[in-house]
Amino acid sequence: MGHLKVVIREQEGRARYTLAGDVDEAISQESFPATDLNEVILDLSGIMSFNSCGLREWIRWIQIFSSHHKVYFENCSVPTIDQMNMMPQTMGKGTVLSFYAPYYCETCGEVNQLVLMDRYAEMLRQKKAPDFSCETCGDVLCFDALAASYFLFADSRAG
Ligand SMILES: [Zn+2]
């Protein structure tokens, strides 16, 4: 995939950051542009991986950034959620609005399903995977991870 790229768009008084690539040793605090807007949505659908150097810089950045802005995470990729579960500091004080979860379709194979936090908040707190059907063939999807670990981040409160 390659080093992290950040694209900013301003939309209805909010800043929308679209992040894509690998969070790796190429990251520095300058990789993350500043904004004057208070509310920031970080679209993390394109984040492919974290390594330890990248993660260290990320955590430094998000801790400070999320104490100066109201930060929401949208469309978090599976590697992002894995990282948030292993290390909650990855979220800073941000709030997850939506995320991808790994599911499996008997016919189509692996499917990453978008899950909206608001809609499934109660199930996620109980560590139950919501039911979905495959968008391609309509079959019932099976959740393809351990619900108790994958939905751990849903317990984190914005501070
Ligand atoms: Zn299918």
CA 112 to ligand 1 centroid distance, Å? 11
Q: What is the pLDDT of residue 157?
A: 56
| Residue 1 in this model has a pLDDT that exceeds 90 | no
The pLDDT, as a whole number, for residue 30 is 92
Determine the distance separating the centroid of ligand 1 and the alpha carbon of 142, expressed in angstroms.
11
Rounded average pLDDT over 2-24: 95
What local confidence, expressed as pLDDT, does residue 159 receive? 38
CA of 50 to the centre of ligand 1 (A): 29
Neighbours of 45 (CB within 10 A): 17
Average pLDDT over residues 89-94: 96
Report, as an integer, the average pLDDT of 138-152: 97
Give me the chain's average pLDDT, please.
Answer: 95
Which of 74, 77, 81, 114 lies closest to 96, judged by CA?
Answer: 74
140 CA distance to ligand 1 middle (Å) = 8
Q: Which domains does the chain have, with CATH numbers?
A: 5-155 (3.30.750.24)
Q: What is the DSSP string of 33-72?
A: ---S-SEEEEEEEEEEEE-HHHHHHHHHHHHHHHHHSEEE
For 18-30, what is the mean pLDDT? 95
pTM summary value:
0.94
Residues 6+ apart with CB under 8 A from 91: 62, 66, 73, 84, 153, 156
Distance of CA 138 from the midpoint of ligand 1 (Å) = 6
- What is the band of 72 on the pLDDT scale with cuts at 50, 70, 90? very high
CB 150 within 8 A of CB 85: yes
pLDDT at 155: 85
